[in-house]
């Protein structure tokens, strides 16, 4: 056990975890809207829109995140049309490529979580809203969305943790996140165990916090 290495690399890894958290929060934020959008398409009784939303979530859940990042980072740069358009200013940055891939990926999972939450809302709640004379929009925003959010909290908590682990793939497109820096230190010092212990503990610390925040929210909004 090389304690000097542990002490020396700890601040580096801690600093790198800022990138990890930034990637996580930005992609979760965008992914939540994507997920909500596609979940709504799924619960509307429109067959074509439903099929499109299903196709989206099936494709992104059925392929590895690594492929998705590589298609966006390496693949899209090859298309002339994208390189000449305004999109190129975004897609040439590995950071934004990673964020787009993560957001689309978590969006697919989130849409499934929200869809099942919407579908398990008891019809009585919606009927109660209707009998009180609330318009459909009000029912949707004031009854369906809050209940669906509460219902999907446990599953969404898992998704956040999965996404935290998913951000490690950003290191494959040259971003120096927690895993990227950990790999760099491992490959220069050849001391994988020490680095794994520190980087692993930082990740576990984040999972621990996410887990408890979700637990707290679940308790707060239980009914």
Partner 1 sequence: MELLAFGKTGWGDELIVATIMTLAVSVAAMLIGFIFALIFTPLKLSRNKFFNLIANFYTTIIRGVPELLVIYLFFFGGSSAIMFVASIFGYNDYIEINAFLTGAFSIGIISGAYSTEVFRGAIQSIDKGQFEASNVLGFNKVLRFYKIILPQMLRLSIPNLSNVWQITLKDTSLISVTGLVEIMRQSYIAAGSTRDPLLFYTVAAILYLILTFLSMKIINRLEIKYNKGY
Residues that bind partner 1 (CB under 8 A): 58-59, 62-68, 70-71, 74-79, 161, 164-169, 171-172, 179, 182-183, 186-187, 190, 192-193, 196, 199-200, 203-204, 207-208
In angstroms, what is the minimal distance from the CB of 139 to partner 1? 33
Q: How many CB atoms lie within 10 A of CB 128?
A: 13
- Toward partner 1, which CB reaches closer, 107 or 129? 107
CB of 68 to partner 1, least distance (A): 7
Between 106 and 167, whose beta carbon lies closer to partner 1? Answer: 167
Nearer to partner 1, 107 or 166 (CB): 166
- Identify which of residues 126 and 172 has a Cβ nearer to partner 1 in the complex: 172
Shortest distance (Å) from residue 166 CB to partner 1: 8
Minimum distance between the CB of residue 164 and partner 1, rounded to whole angstroms?
A: 8
Cβ distance to partner 1 smaller for residue 62 or 123: 62
Query: What tokens appear for 119 in the block?
Result: 């579908």
CB-based contact 28:101 (threshold 8 Å): no
Which CB, 76 or 140, lies closer to partner 1?
76
The least distance separating partner 1 from the CB of residue 186, rounded to whole angstroms, comes to: 5
- The C-alpha atoms of residue 25 and residue 220 are separated, in whole angstroms, by 22
Q: How far is the CB of 15 from partner 1 (least distance, A)?
A: 17
């Amino acid at each position: 056990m090389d304690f000097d290495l542990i002490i020396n690399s700890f601040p580096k890894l801690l600093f790198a975890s800022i990138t990890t958290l930034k990637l996580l929060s930005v992609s979760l934020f965008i992914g939540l809207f994507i997920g909500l959008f596609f979940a709504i398409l799924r619960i509307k009784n429109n067959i074509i829109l439903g099929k499109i939303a299903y196709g989206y979530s099936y494709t992104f859940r059925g392929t590895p995140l690594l492929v998705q990042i590589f298609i966006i980072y390496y693949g899209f740069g090859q298309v002339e049309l994208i390189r000449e358009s305004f999109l190129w200013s975004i897609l040439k940055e590995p950071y934004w490529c990673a964020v787009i891939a993560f957001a689309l990926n978590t969006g697919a999972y989130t849409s499934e979580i929200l869809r099942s939450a919407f579908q398990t809302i008891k019809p009585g709640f919606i009927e109660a809203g209707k009998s009180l004379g609330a318009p459909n929009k009000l029912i949707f925003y004031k009854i369906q969305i809050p209940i669906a959010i509460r219902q999907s909290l446990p599953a969404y908590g898992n998704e956040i943790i999965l996404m935290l682990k998913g951000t490690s793939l950003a290191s494959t497109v040259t971003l120096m996140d927690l895993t990227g820096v950990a790999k760099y230190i491992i490959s220069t010092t050849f001391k994988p165990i020490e680095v794994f212990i520190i980087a692993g503990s930082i990740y576990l610390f984040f999972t621990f916090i996410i887990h408890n925040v979700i637990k707290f929210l679940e308790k707060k909004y239980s009914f």
